[in-house]
Amino acid sequence: MEIMNPYQVAHQFGLKTLEKPEEHTGSRVSMKIGLPRERSKDERRLAVTPGGVADLKANGHDVYLEAGAGEDARFPDHEFSDAGANIIWSAEELYKRSEIILKVAPPDESEHELLQPDQVIISALHLGNTTEKYLKELMRKNITGIGFEFIKSPDNSFPIVRMMHEITGSMSIQIAAHYLENNQNGQGIMFGGISGVPPATVVILGAGIIAEYAARTALGYGAQIFVMDNDLALLRHLENSLDRRIITAMATHQYISSALKVADVVIGAAMVEGHRAPCLVTRTMVETMKEGSVVVDAVIDQGGCIETSHPTTHSDPIFIENGVVHYCVPNIPANAARTATTALNNLLVPFLLDIGDAGGIREALWTNVSLRNGTYVYKNQLTKKSLAQFFNMSYRDIEMLIASQI
């Protein structure tokens, strides 16, 4: 009996995550797409699965995978090869052969020189760590930069950010539960669910997607939950969607200060899409928290919303400040790499197919509003006002650049 690999099973039995037909649809252009190995510390995700490669190949595109790029997400090279990818043994060759570079983390400094003139780079931007030098390098080489954080659908949702935030929110509670244990310098308490024992108190800053999924998971553990935000509409939505099993309050200095004194866990989830996270918790507030309590700053990749936070890594994830355990890993979903990779594949492959069907990136920016919203560098110009303000740089609106055919 023939043994089929996973992507063959998916195609034969209909277990596909994409709605694109498998057979070649006659894309207007054939693209060369590169999937380099992630070099950022502890980044284990990849942007495309072997099944996604099969869909791209079926539509006439060439896919280049740097050897070992999917191993941390438990996708070995042979699965990609069987799906039609070309395995490349050096990053230099991959970058030279690719028109589109698809990554999860933005290129680190060692990769800047590998970027080729006129390429397209699609990745997260990590606003908390973005540098002026990187942006200027993209502009100098006439590279089109498209950031996960900026890709916005016509309904004003951010599909890639939302998917990663769902994972981040759920995992932040699992992480907090772990670090509340005695052998992790925590208080030695459980979230709840034990008869006759009061539940742990969880304070969630922000009422967006991370907060929603953190609250859902914490409710499952049996915790008492406070959610704070300055947007009443978001608080109202969260209350209704969770059947009013949470306590909400405005994120004022008074309410936050009072809540942190009794908190066992604080989840930092306050952010505005496309901007750095606001700092809601001061060092003085952290000093009033209980010894052995846990802070998970889940928006540290956007700069963090807690003053005592600074980025950590999966291999060295915590530090203790004023007796409070701080977990501040920027890429939390990388620890669920296979789930996160599949989620990214489901969202990114359709965008790649749209670029090919449109006839290339320039044509796709005319027709695909999500890609247009996601573009932060185009035609040697910075195109995001928020980045321009932060780095004190000039910018030009992407709509104007496209309309003027510059």
In the set 55, 264, 297, 301, the catalytic residue is: 301
- Clarify whether 275 is annotated catalytic: no
What are the boundaries of each domain within the chain?
23-157+336-403, 166-329
Of 108 and 121, which is predicted with more confidence? 121
User: In what helix (H) or strand (E) does residue 174 lie, and over which residues does it extend?
Assistant: helix 159-179
Closest by alpha carbon to 168, among 343, 382, 387, 390?
A: 343
Closest by alpha carbon to 265, among 227, 284, 293?
A: 293
Alpha carbons within 13 A on the beta-carbon side of 406:
13
Task: Report pLDDT digits (tens) over 235-250.
Answer: 999 999 999 999 999 9
Residue 129 confidence (pLDDT): 77
The answer to whether the predicted template modeling score (pTM) of the entire model surpasses 0.95 is: no
Q: What share of the chain is helix, strand, coil (3-state, %, to 5)?
A: 40, 15, 45
Residue 121, pLDDT above cutoff 90: yes
Of 403 and 210, which is predicted with more confidence? 210
- Measured between alpha carbons, how far is 172 from 332 in angstroms, rounded to an integer? 8
- Measured between alpha carbons, how far is 106 from 262 in angstroms, rounded to an integer? 38
| Amino acid at residue number 83 | A
In the set 126, 165, 229, 297, the catalytic residue is: 126
Residue 306 confidence (pLDDT): 95
Work out the angle at residue 356's Cα, subtended by the Cα atoms of residues 404 and 66, and round it to the nearest 5 degrees: 115
- Measured between alpha carbons, how far is 406 from 390 in angstroms, rounded to an integer? 25
| Amino acid at residue number 81 | S
Q: How confident is the model at residue 126 (pLDDT cuts 50, 70, 90)?
A: confident
Residue 164, pLDDT above cutoff 80: yes
- Measured between alpha carbons, how far is 37 from 104 in angstroms, rounded to an integer? 10
- The answer to whether 23-157+336-403 and 166-329 have equal CATH topology is yes
Phi and psi of 171, rounded to 5°? -70, -30
Q: What is the mean pLDDT of the chain?
A: 90
Residue 17 confidence (pLDDT): 45
Task: Report pLDDT digits (tens) over 40-88.
Answer: 878 999 999 999 999 999 999 999 999 999 999 999 999 999 999 999 9
* Topology (CATH level 3) of domain 23-157+336-403: Rossmann fold (3.40.50)
- Measured between alpha carbons, how far is 28 from 35 in angstroms, rounded to an integer? 22
- Measured between alpha carbons, how far is 384 from 39 in angstroms, rounded to an integer? 26
- Clarify whether 126 is annotated catalytic: yes
* Topology (CATH level 3) of domain 166-329: Rossmann fold (3.40.50)
Residue 275, pLDDT above cutoff 80: no
3-state secondary structure of 383: coil
